[in-house]
Amino acid sequence: MDRQQQAIEQLREAIEKEAGRKMKTPKDFDYLSEAIGRQLHEHISSTTLKRMWGYLAEPVTPRISTLDILAQFLGHADWDAFCKSLPDESSVSTATVPDKKPLFRRHPVLLATPVSVLILGVLIWLLIPSKSPENEPITFADEQVKALCIANWDTNGDGELSYAEAAAVTELGEVFKSNTEITSFDELQYFTGVTSIWESSFGNCTGLTSIELPNSLVSIRDYAFERCEGLLSLTIPSSVTYIGHFGSNAALMKITVDENNPVYDSRNNCNAIIETATNALVKGCKGTVIPNDVTSISGFAGNFGMESILIPSSVKSIAPYAFAYCLSLHTVMSQMTTPCEFGENAFLSIPSDCTLLIPNGTRDAYIAAGWTEELFKGGVIESPKM
């Protein structure tokens, strides 16, 4: 093991000690990614961390920018500072990290002693450029995704997609639409020329479980992820300023908005997307806890796994189809003392035994506002707990 690898290994050990856990499972890497984001307001994806810890079978040398952030997580100024804190660190430097490669790579012929050979070696050293990291091929976790990317955006025809080729893409179009075979597209993060995900771009990708959006993204159009029934989590980058109607995502359990996003947030780890200026919840999931300052609700339609929901007293309106087709929703708990209005089909096709629990003394007001037992066939019941 060379000096650089030894230093990286010591960095991993120190981070595990700081985090208070070994990096062994996907949840561990998600935890570390979130901890770094909270502490430093910097982002390292869980996929990048998995590669660095060898959890993914992909040989990779971490970039200096990644090493700098990890060193800062431990309280050091940067990667160099961390290396200097190690015993006998003199041979470890950023020069060994790909982000800071020399302009030209050295050639072993320079070690020869005859002058003529030495001159030839110098010429070779000057004329052969080192390979740029941007031209390295991306390692895809999903072969189906890789094949589609190469078929559409492999501009040099080498049968691979480089980081530079991915960054040059500006539109995804309908390349992935209705593809039920793809399962993972975390490599989308490298498509930094993409600013918008079109309507239904990933619609009906029922097998998709994981996707990482690029930090260049500005808008997510209507139904971009409609019926991505296997999608488990989603992180909205700080760059996103427009989100349309999401549609249904039955398995979605975790939603996070980058804390530096100026338009949306996921306050109090609520697992929802909230429009900050209006306190409007625009996308929820089965793991959502609605914050008690939300004033309007939409975006739960098709959450098949959600069994109950608590509506806080701050809510003033519920959008059409907000809870439609929540086929496991057996209990709706409302803290509203004055029931709000709700849009057409807001509770369409919820289970026939769904019960509405409301504050004491409010039943007449709820019935008058349309919150009837025709909708909640399990009963509209006053409860002291509300």
Q: Tens digits of per-residue pLDDT, 161-200?
A: 999 999 999 999 999 999 999 999 999 999 999 999 999 8
Mean pLDDT by 10 residues, the chain (386 residues): 82 88 81 83 82 73 87 90 77 44 38 52 50 80 96 95 94 95 95 94 94 95 92 94 88 92 95 97 94 96 91 97 94 97 95 96 96 96 86
pLDDT at position 26: 74
Rounded CA separation 175/159 (Å): 18
Do 59 and 109 reside in the same domain of the chain? no
SS3 243: strand
376 domain residue, yes or no? no
Residues with Cβ within 8 Å of 136's Cβ and at least 6 positions away in sequence, in order, are 162, 163
pLDDT at position 231: 92
What is the distance between the terminal CA atoms of the chain, rounded to a whole angstrom?
A: 62
Rounded CA separation 9/24 (Å): 15
Do 17 and 47 reside in the same domain of the chain? yes
Do 38 and 123 reside in the same domain of the chain? no
Residue with structure tokens 């439609």? Answer: 324
Do 108 and 41 reside in the same domain of the chain? no
The answer to whether 195 touches 219, Cβ cutoff 8 Å, is yes
pLDDT at position 155: 94
34 domain residue, yes or no? yes
This prediction has a pTM of 0.66
19 domain residue, yes or no? yes
51 domain residue, yes or no? yes
Rounded CA separation 292/256 (Å): 18
Q: Which domain holds residue 65?
A: 3-96
336 domain residue, yes or no? no
The answer to whether 209 touches 235, Cβ cutoff 8 Å, is no
The answer to whether 336 touches 294, Cβ cutoff 8 Å, is no
Rounded CA separation 195/272 (Å): 22
Do 23 and 45 reside in the same domain of the chain? yes
Query: 96, 117, 142 — which closes off a domain?
Result: 96
Q: Tens digits of per-residue pLDDT, 82-129?
A: 899 887 644 454 444 444 443 333 344 434 455 555 555 555 544 544
Rounded CA separation 154/167 (Å): 12
Rounded to 10 deg, the angle between the 64-73 and 3-19 helix axes is 40
